[in-house]
Structure 1
Amino acid sequence: MATQKRPVSNLLGLAVLGLLIEQPMHPYEMAATLRERNKDTSFKIKTGSLYDVVESLARAGWISAHSTERSGRRPERTVYAHTELGRKEFVSWLDELVRKPVKEYPSFLAAVSYLGALGPDRAVQALEERIAWLDEDVERGRQAQDEALAKQAPRLFVIELDYAVTMAASERDWARGIVREIRDGTLVWPELMTVEGREVWAEQDEAEAPDAP
């Protein structure tokens, strides 16, 4: 049975609905709270996009204006809260995402499928640079975990940090393994994929090409 398409599919909407489970908020507070809680490891948080998502959720009837507030001379801000429908859709959406793997197409996976085109030396250089970036990601993630524990945040509330660190560390370790295989020669580059091999094949193709009339 096909899953019914939701009127809001941007995952940032899931983050908004999750925040409003706690209490009504205005969009600026939502963005600040998500960043403070390191949710930018899970969601692409841009204030403009968040306002668009809030409007979409309101049109869908999943959230509604709760009140307005003003701070100093700033314009009034609309505070939003869940509707009954919104709570139901949030739980349904979350349940589906946890249960059913979704086919994704990471850019790194696409690049790895053509790793041979870089040649062994350049592939090692590229992978080692990626490993350095992943080292930083892992370190930042672990620091964020430590900070959350220091604030006595329930682990369940920051469990995505654990997942993000685990995935980054796993990718880094995989890349290190590939670098070792390239260096010790166990990951063999087909002759055609090396510079020398391409030159040889090009010469053969040129020699076998029919003479021009």
Structure 2
Amino acid sequence: MTASSRRPVSNALGLAVLGLLLESPSHPHAMAATLRERGMDRAFKVTTGSLYDVVRTLEKAGWIEARETVRVGARPERTVYRHTAVGLDEFVRWVDELIRVPADEYPKFLSAVSYLGALGPDGASAALRERAVRVRARLAEARQRHREVLDTGQVPRLFVVEVEYGVRMLEAELGWLEEIVDDIAAGRLAWPEPTSGWVRGEGGEA
């Protein structure tokens, strides 16, 4: 049995909840707001229902516990959670494992780009250019969000290094997209002779 199979929650949202509680005790509503502010909802789906499910599961497992119930104004009461000693130890072990050991991931883009040739040179260039426009916009948004978080002076850089990592990944992807588009235009990326049904517009649609 692996370590991940023994965890009450093994998805990224569970890791995020535990990570936020490392910064300070919090209630689920505030957790969701923080995740969205930091753009983490791009990495995994954040909904009220899924977040409360994760919190309940972690509490049942003894990884977190209720510290207090608070009410602000006319808002509903909210339960503030914190780590237990066991939960903190397990969280540290989990983070250590994820950082040390690369895991197989299966992004949809990687699957699709494996068949870039099916679009033909013009189709491939058009598709990559459009993606580059979208990636460039996301990169600008991520950079702005990172600056805004740090400019508040309330969040240490250490707590938003994942945003820096996201920025670097977007920069790398954008650089690769622009390079491939240039290579197609310059003829440096050779296209094989079309076969029936393989290249769109050559012998049928792909």
The 3 A distance-change label for structure 1 pair 21 and 4 is closer
User: How many angstroms apart in 2 are the aligned matches of 1:31 and 1:53?
Assistant: 12
How far apart are 1:188 and its partner, in Å? Answer: 1.8
Summarize the Cα distance change of 1:195–1:48 in structure 2 as closer, same or farther, 3 Å threshold. Answer: closer
AA at the equivalent of 1:133: R
Alignment counterpart, residue 160 of structure 1, candidates 159, 162, 177: 162
Distance 1:105 1:159 in 2: 23
**Aligned positions, number:** 199
Q: Deviation string for 1:22-68 (max 9, x for gaps)? A: 33221111111222334335443222211111111112111122222
Q: Larger C-alpha radius of gyration, 1 or 2?
A: 1
Q: CA RMSD in A?
A: 2.1
Question: Following TM superposition, by how much is the alpha carbon of 1:78 offset from its aligned partner in structure 2, in angstroms?
Answer: 2.0
Does residue 1:185 correspond to 2:187, yes or no? yes
1:169 matched to which residue of 2? 171
Structure 1 regions of 5+ residues with no counterpart? 200-213
Q: TM-score, length-normalised on structure 2?
A: 0.87
Q: 1:47-104: per-residue Cα shift (whole Å, max 9, x none)?
A: 2211111111112111122222234454432222211111111101111111110000
Return the letter of the residue paired with 1:115.
Answer: L
Aligned partner of 2:77: which letter?
E
With normalisation by structure 1, the TM-score equals 0.84
* Contact kept? 2:38, 2:163, Cα under 8 Å: no
Within 5 A, what are the aligned runs for 1:50-199? 50-152=51-153, 153-191=155-193, 192=195, 193-194=198-199, 198=203
Per-residue deviation at 1:140?
1.0
Compute the displacement of 1:142 (Å).
Answer: 1.4
Q: Render the CA deviation track for 1:2-39: whole Å, top value 9, x for unaligned.
A: 54522210111111111212332211111112223343
What secondary structure does 1:198 align onto? coil
